[in-house]
Amino acid sequence: MTATLTPELRHRSDSRRRLPAIATDVSAPEEGSAVAALLIDGVTKRFTVGRKRKPVVAISNVSLRLERGDIHGILGANGSGKSTLIRLVSGLLTLDEGRVEVFGHDLVRDEMAVKRLINRVSVDAAFFKKLSPMENLLFAARLYGVDGATARRDAVRIMERLGIGTKRIGRPVEQMSRGMQQKVAIARALLTSPSLLLLDEPTTGLDPRSKLEVQTFIEEVRDSHDATIVLTTHDLAEAERLCRRITILNDGRTVAEDTPDGLKRLVADRYGEPPTLHAVFMTYTGRSLDDDVEEDESGDDID
Amino acid sequence: MAMLAHEMRASYAFIERNFHLTKRYWGWEIAFLVYSVAGALSVSLIGADVGSARLLLTLMVGAIFWNYLSVVFSWIAETIAVERWEGTLEYTMMAPIRRSTQLLGSVVYAMGYGLLHTAVILIVLVLFFPQLDLSHANFGTALVFVVLGSFSFVGIGMMAAILPLLYVERGAQMTFVIQSVILLISGVYYSVDILPGWMQVASRLSPATYVLDAVRRGLIDGAGLGELVRDAWPLVVMGIVFIPAGVWLFGKAERYAKRTGKLKRVG
């Protein structure tokens, strides 16, 4: 157990489940520490598509700093690099340039420590479809060192909080609606008590009620679980409601970053646009949300 | 110790998950078992038809033990392919576990599943051919060589599991082709001596060749371990070389997939 662990564990309230046993040698520094929850410094990622083609720059020199407890939004059109950035932080892609640190742990040098601190919810709720939510969650929890009894108990608690009744916990995931599957995906991520939660369009495809429930739950997670959250979304109202700061990506580059109010003031003062996030999005990405949705339906590999 | 406990728990996660998958796909499991039993019986009946007890036993051993080796190979080789189909690969790759831990879980389940599957076929065949005389059989020899062969097959399975990481669309098909080639060159139903020269050379690289030869000699001729050293040492060498090579290559393939973005796409 490291010296930084004890105050960290003390800090956590009784209502919050302790980190699994294996996580005891990797912890987020205590509150008030100068260490960033997430530091992205000059990160660049290129992909070579096909043979002898010029590499495509998916992320270009992006920098970002999140403090503990932040909910930071990332907005951008499809293909702007939002999901690539999330994958880079998740360790699912290697960095071509730059560095990523999670609570002071370098992603490249200390990959396992970073992995213990993060989890992710992607737009596609990926599960073993024949398995039940409980079986899927149990598998995920064990990978993060949570014992079976604790995982079962917490899985029921979290899924009930998300409106997934106990009757549905034992049925195959494939029998659930898209919205319910997405809630199970969120439960899976929370089960491992991540200090940094990466939410990649978590409410896409949900009905308004489910969307509201998930948004409320995200706020609750930030407050009660002491989590720092990165949220990519196409829902500007959601970004405005949840995010303390917003970064706008366009063609893999950061084109704007500020608080929601700061961004709105910026487009109003500088461009004479109405002070809305919609105007901010259109100003910095050069397209409307309708264009974005159309592209979304056609699919995009880089995004 | 905490780290070891974590890795063991994570290994168990794969065993438990694969058990749940088997349970949920029980209809297909029964269908697959019936097909395997029918296949083993069909092949063995050729020996009965000829009226040769030796040929019958030769074919039975081939059918039963090839079933075991191919089941072990399939479970391990499909470690990645299954996750690609389900779309869960990124989540498993994000988890704070070593790749060797993941592979260990897959291997343990594969061996347990393979033994159970093969035991059912063995029982059915023994009941179907009550005239078989196994009074001279050396079951100890068979057991030792199945265990030895399992380890070298595990190594090959690990190397084959890499293919779906490297080739998103075709990787799973490639592992199937590898399994087919091993079936062809290993003398499962015939002596490797009848193969063309170049295939005989290739057969020496297959662990199944040595396992089947030794098991046959143990069960049919009652040969002991001391008489089968020539079959044993290649298996030992292959196990020692293939398993670390499989883990090492798996790591290399994972880094390649992360560099090129191949973990994302679902094949």
Contacts of A17 (CB under 8 A, 6+ apart): A150, A154, A193
- Using pLDDT thresholds of 50, 70 and 90, give the confidence band for residue A263: very high
**Which of A152-161, A215-224, B52-61 is least confident?**
A215-224
A92 and B90 within 8 Å at the Cβ level: the answer is yes
Asked whether the predicted pLDDT for residue B65 surpasses 60, the reply is: yes
The closest CB to that of B6, out of A22, A122, A127, belongs to: A22
CB-based contact, B259 to chain A, within 8 Å? yes
The closest CB to that of A143, out of B13, B86, B258, belongs to: B13
How many CB pairs (< 8 A) connect A and B?
100
- Using pLDDT thresholds of 50, 70 and 90, give the confidence band for residue A1: very low
Instruction: Quote the pLDDT of residue A21.
Output: 34
Asked whether the predicted pLDDT for residue A52 surpasses 80, the reply is: no
Instruction: Quote the pLDDT of residue A28.
Output: 63
> Domain ranges in chain B?
2-260
CB-based contact, B9 to chain A, within 8 Å? yes
Asked whether the predicted pLDDT for residue A300 surpasses 50, the reply is: no
CB-based contact, B263 to chain A, within 8 Å? yes
Q: What is the mean pLDDT of chain A?
A: 83
Asked whether the predicted pLDDT for residue A81 surpasses 60, the reply is: yes
pLDDT in tens, A158-206: 898 888 888 889 999 999 988 889 889 989 998 988 999 999 998 887 8
CB-based contact, B27 to chain A, within 8 Å? no
Asked whether the predicted pLDDT for residue B77 surpasses 70, the reply is: yes
Of B79, B109, B16, B80, nearest to A134 (Cα)? B16
CA distances from A276 to A47, A201, A240, A250, A267 (A): 34, 21, 10, 18, 8
Of A245, A253, A228, nearest to A58 (Cα)? A253
Residue that wins the pLDDT comparison between A169 and A12: A169
Question: Measured between CA atoms, how close is B157 to chain A, in angstroms?
Answer: 22
B258 and A118 within 8 Å at the Cβ level: the answer is no
Instruction: Quote the pLDDT of residue A219.
Output: 86
Which residue is listed with tokens 């003390």? A10
CB-based contact, B88 to chain A, within 8 Å? yes
> Domain ranges in chain A?
37-126+195-208+221-298
The closest CB to that of B10, out of A25, A122, A143, belongs to: A143
Instruction: Quote the pLDDT of residue A27.
Output: 60
- Using pLDDT thresholds of 50, 70 and 90, give the confidence band for residue A220: confident
B93 and A120 within 8 Å at the Cβ level: the answer is no
Contacts of B50 (CB under 8 A, 6+ apart): B56
Instruction: Quote the pLDDT of residue B266.
Output: 53
The whole-number average pLDDT for the span B30-57 is 94
Residues 185 through 224 of chain B touching chain A, CB cutoff 8 Å: none
Instruction: Quote the pLDDT of residue A33.
Output: 63
Sheet bearing A253-258, strands edge to edge: A118-121, A196-200, A228-232, A71-76, A245-250, A253-258
The answer to whether residues B96 and A143 touch, using CB atoms and an 8 Å cutoff, is yes
The closest CB to that of A142, out of B3, B13, B25, belongs to: B13
- Count of other CB atoms within 10 angstroms of residue B198: 9
pLDDT in tens, A125-142: 789 999 999 999 999 999
B96 and A128 within 8 Å at the Cβ level: the answer is no
B24 and A138 within 8 Å at the Cβ level: the answer is no
User: Which chain A residue has its CA at the smallest distance from B102's CA?
Assistant: A143
The whole-number average pLDDT for the span B131-159 is 90
B87 and A142 within 8 Å at the Cβ level: the answer is no
Asked whether the predicted pLDDT for residue B158 surpasses 80, the reply is: yes
A131 and B17 within 8 Å at the Cβ level: the answer is yes
Which residue numbers of A have CB closer than 8 Å to B's CBs? 21-22, 24-25, 47-48, 87, 90-94, 112, 115-116, 118-120, 122, 124, 126-131, 135, 138-140, 142-145, 147, 172, 188, 301
The closest CB to that of B95, out of A93, A115, A147, belongs to: A115
Residue that wins the pLDDT comparison between B184 and A28: B184
- Using pLDDT thresholds of 50, 70 and 90, give the confidence band for residue A24: very low
- Count of other CB atoms within 10 angstroms of residue B1: 5
The whole-number average pLDDT for the span B215-231 is 93
Among B21, B91, B102, the strongest candidate for a mutation testing the A interface, having the largest count of A CBs within 10 A, is B91
- Using pLDDT thresholds of 50, 70 and 90, give the confidence band for residue A4: very low
- Using pLDDT thresholds of 50, 70 and 90, give the confidence band for residue B66: very high
The closest CB to that of B86, out of A128, A140, A142, belongs to: A128
Angle at A134 (CA atoms; ends B22, B94), nearest 5 degrees = 85
Instruction: Quote the pLDDT of residue B198.
Output: 95
The whole-number average pLDDT for the span A234-255 is 94
Instruction: Quote the pLDDT of residue A16.
Output: 38
Instruction: Quote the pLDDT of residue A180.
Output: 87
Question: Measured between CA atoms, how close is A15 to chain B, in angstroms?
Answer: 24
B87 and A87 within 8 Å at the Cβ level: the answer is no
- Count of other CB atoms within 10 angstroms of residue B51: 8
The whole-number average pLDDT for the span B40-66 is 93
CA distance A68 to A222: 10
Q: Which residues of A touch B93 (CB under 8 A)?
A: 91-92
Asked whether the predicted pLDDT for residue A297 surpasses 70, the reply is: no
CB-based contact, B21 to chain A, within 8 Å? yes
The whole-number average pLDDT for the span A145-159 is 92
User: Which chain A residue has its CA at the smallest distance from B101's CA?
Assistant: A143
CA distance B250 to A93: 16
Q: What is the rounded radius of gyration, in angstroms, for the C-alpha atoms of chain A? A: 19
- Using pLDDT thresholds of 50, 70 and 90, give the confidence band for residue A8: very low
The whole-number average pLDDT for the span A280-290 is 77
| B225 secondary structure, DSSP code | G
Residue that wins the pLDDT comparison between A22 and A179: A179
A94 and B255 within 8 Å at the Cβ level: the answer is yes
CB-based contact, B252 to chain A, within 8 Å? no
The helix/strand/coil state of A122 is coil
Instruction: Quote the pLDDT of residue A85.
Output: 96
| B120 secondary structure, DSSP code | H
The whole-number average pLDDT for the span B64-68 is 93
The whole-number average pLDDT for the span A79-96 is 95
The whole-number average pLDDT for the span B29-42 is 95
The closest CB to that of A130, out of B21, B96, B264, belongs to: B21
CA distance A141 to A133: 12
Asked whether the predicted pLDDT for residue A296 surpasses 50, the reply is: no
- Superfamily holding A37-126+195-208+221-298: P-loop containing nucleotide triphosphate hydrolases (3.40.50.300)
**What is the ipTM score, two decimals?**
0.88
Per cent of chain A over pLDDT 90 is 57
Asked whether the predicted pLDDT for residue A17 surpasses 50, the reply is: no
User: Which chain B residue has its CA at the smallest distance from A47's CA?
Assistant: B260
Residue B51: left (phi > 0), alpha (psi -120 to 50), or beta? left
